[in-house]
Every structure is written in C-alpha cells, then in structure tokens.
Amino acid sequence: MKIIGPIAGIGSRLRPFTLSKPKAFLTVAGKTVLDHILLKFSNTFDSDTELILIVGYKKQRIIEYLKNHYSDKFKLTFIEQIPRGYIEGVPYYWGLGEAVYLAHTRFKESKMKTVEQDKREGSLIFLSDMIPIDEFSYLLYKYWESDVDGIITVMKVPKEEASSYGVVVVDNNNLIKKLVEKPKDFVSDLAIAGPYSFSKSATLALFRNIKKYLDQRTPDSKEVYLTESLQDLVDQGYKIAAVELKQGILDFGRPSELLKGNRYLLQQKSVISNDFHTLDITIERSYIKDPVYIGEHTKIINSVIGPYVSIGNNSKIENCILKNSVIEETTHLNNIISQNSIIGSYVKIENISKNNLIIGDKSVY
C-alpha cells in the first residue's frame, strides 16, 4: 500500500502563522502536526512503505525536514503541485483533487490476480491538518476485513455545521450512496473526516475520474474538489464504506480547533518535573499546572503556566500567567496575562493582558 499526503496548500485559515511556515509545520504538544500524523503511520506501516508527498508552498523546507527525520521510516517520494497563480506573492492551487491525481505516476496499470493483492497494492490518502484519534490500524482493519473496494472515514457533526464539510449519505450497510461538498441544504451529519483507503483498482479509477474534471478546467474554473470524483467512483459500482471514527478527529485547520487539539494531546502526555533537567528547562519562582508541554532550553521565571499550555524550544517566559495556549519556539514573553491564545515563533512581546491572542511569527510588540 502506498500513502498519499497532499501538503501543498498554504493553509489560509491559519494565517498569519502559515505566512512563514507550511500549515503542517505548526507545533502542538512538542511536535509538528505532520509529525503527529507520520508517527502514527510509522506504528502501523513498515519502512518499505512508499510515502508520496504532494508539495508546493514552502516545499524545500518540507522536503529537507522529511529527508532528515523520516528517511529511515518510509520510502519518500516528492511530487510538486504547480501553483495555479499568485495573490500578493502567495501561491494558490487547483485543490485537493489535482493534488491526489498527481500521485498517479506512482501506480502502474496492472491486472490484479486476487482481491487481497488488489487491496494490498492500493492507497491510503491523508489530509495534513487532520489527525484521527483512532489508530490507523483500526481503520485498516475495517478496510481489510470488509467486502468493499475502499473506505472513507467520517465523523458526526452538529447539523448546523454540516454545510462546512463534505458529507456522505449511507445505506443500512454503511455503504456510501451520495457525497456532497459543503451542501447548502442539510443532507447528512456524517462529515468526511480525512483518511481514505482504496484498492488499487479503485485508486486507478479515482485517478481517471479526477483527470476528467482536470481536463475540463478553464481559467475561470473553481478549484477541483475530490468529492465529485468519489461520487463518480460510487456511481461506477465501487463499494465504498463509511467508517465512523470511534474517538473522532483532531482538526488543525482553524485556530480554535488547533487549541482543542493541543488540549487533547497534552492530556495524553504532559512534560513532568523529572524531565526538566534532561531537557535543560529552567523553572524559577513559578507554578506549573499540568498538563503542559515545555520545550528544550526554555526558561520560565516568576510565572503561572497551565493547564493546557504548549511552549516551544528556546523560549523565555517571564512574569506571565498563561492558560490553554500554544506558544511556538524561540519566543520571549514578558508580563503577559492570556488564555486561549496562539503565539508564533521568534516573537517578542510584553505588557499585554488579553485573551484570544493570535500573533504570527517574528512579531515584536
């Protein structure tokens, strides 16, 4: 099985943080969002698994990082998604549909001798800002043990939020009958959650479906979604099942959701006082309320930190009261009182008492 990861987009909903870094490189609970995803994969797949990354925005940073950290865990392949155009120097792309299609060069046309071979040589597609809480082994078990050509993971969402997602309608056997991208009228509360897995036959058919829409593009066309091509797959007779995630998903595509994800991840593992010496963490005249993450070579002086605070490496926090917040690396905060805030890397600010701060990288105040 090959893993396809479209990570070319700029993450416009996470600006200003993504002005200086790819959206998958936001750091939460001590790791980038991409790290959290790939570490889950490495627990399930062996090192011979091909990981196909569709890169674009900040591509060189992504390529160098993955080569340095994951060459021993996957067979890495990088394919560039060319920008559709630029707005004020920032690229924009043809969307998820084109990104997935670009992986077609890594799948050779061949006749499958058995159903098992067809599934084994298939694909798993993930989204770089969504982390299933369930282990991937659970999802793959559903894929292998069910008499289907593929699975799409779904999660229940409030009726009033369904219009913000791609949603599916299923029959009594959880086979998908209809997919709708961001419906104006309510049709289902089962939102597409992220990971997809398909047999090789279904994967090749999906590529052909996407190409049909790509070939119809004009300069005025909207971006190419994946949902239409998935609907075509269902209409062509492929059996695609909806697998509802038991524990849900961490969606890092919006600032508010990023804070929820940070909270969940810290509940699973918090830095404890025994780690301070090993990580060269200095705590002076401060109270640390778990769960928290504090990065290496960080100093916390005369402050109250936590709960649910992530602080990146090489930071300095003085005279602060912080709760339920994400502070990235090499940031210096002095006399800050805040909660529910996200503060980027290489930031230096002081004398602010305000909640819900959103401060991008390299800001000074």
Could you read off the pLDDT tens digit of each residue along the chain, which spans 365 residues?
999 999 887 766 666 666 667 777 888 888 888 998 898 888 888 899 999 999 988 889 899 999 999 999 999 999 999 988 888 777 878 889 999 999 999 999 888 889 999 999 999 999 887 887 877 777 888 889 889 999 999 988 889 888 888 899 999 999 999 999 888 889 999 989 878 999 999 999 999 999 999 999 998 888 898 999 999 999 999 999 999 887 777 877 777 788 988 998 898 877 777 788 889 999 999 999 999 999 999 999 999 999 999 999 999 999 999 999 999 999 999 999 999 999 999 999 999 999 999 898 889 98
Q: What is the enclosing helix (H) or strand (E) of 349?
A: strand 348-353
Based on the fold, state whether residues 276 and 308 are members of the same structural domain.
yes
d(CA 186, CA 167): 10
Q: What is the enclosing helix (H) or strand (E) of 145?
A: helix 136-145
Based on the fold, state whether residues 303 and 338 are members of the same structural domain.
yes
Domain contains 150: yes
Domain around 126: 2-259
Domain contains 64: yes
Domain contains 310: yes
Name the domain count of the chain: 2
DSSP single-letter state for residue 134: S
Cα–Cα nearest to 314, from 337, 357, 277, 345: 345
Based on the fold, state whether residues 144 and 205 are members of the same structural domain.
yes
Domain contains 348: yes
Q: Are strands 309-311 and 292-294 parallel, antiparallel or unpaired?
A: parallel
d(CA 1, CA 105): 15
Based on the fold, state whether residues 158 and 16 are members of the same structural domain.
yes
Based on the fold, state whether residues 175 and 317 are members of the same structural domain.
no
Based on the fold, state whether residues 276 and 251 are members of the same structural domain.
no
Based on the fold, state whether residues 58 and 7 are members of the same structural domain.
yes
Based on the fold, state whether residues 233 and 298 are members of the same structural domain.
no
User: Phi and psi (nearest 5°) for 144?
Assistant: -75, -40
Q: What is the reported pLDDT for 239?
A: 96
Based on the fold, state whether residues 69 and 184 are members of the same structural domain.
yes
Q: Answer with the one of 238, 259, 280 that is the final residue of a domain.
A: 259
Distance of CA 91 to the CA centre of its chain: 19
Q: Answer with the one of 215, 237, 259 that is the final residue of a domain.
A: 259
Domain contains 264: no
Handedness of CA 21, 25, 26, 27 (dihedral sign): negative
Domain contains 364: no
d(CA 120, CA 113): 12
Domain contains 115: yes
Say if CB 18 and CB 254 are below 8 A apart: no
Q: What is the reported pLDDT for 44?
A: 84
Q: What is the reported pLDDT for 15?
A: 67
The CATH number assigned to the domain holding 185 equals: 3.90.550.10
d(CA 129, CA 322): 25
The CATH number assigned to the domain holding 343 equals: 2.160.10.10
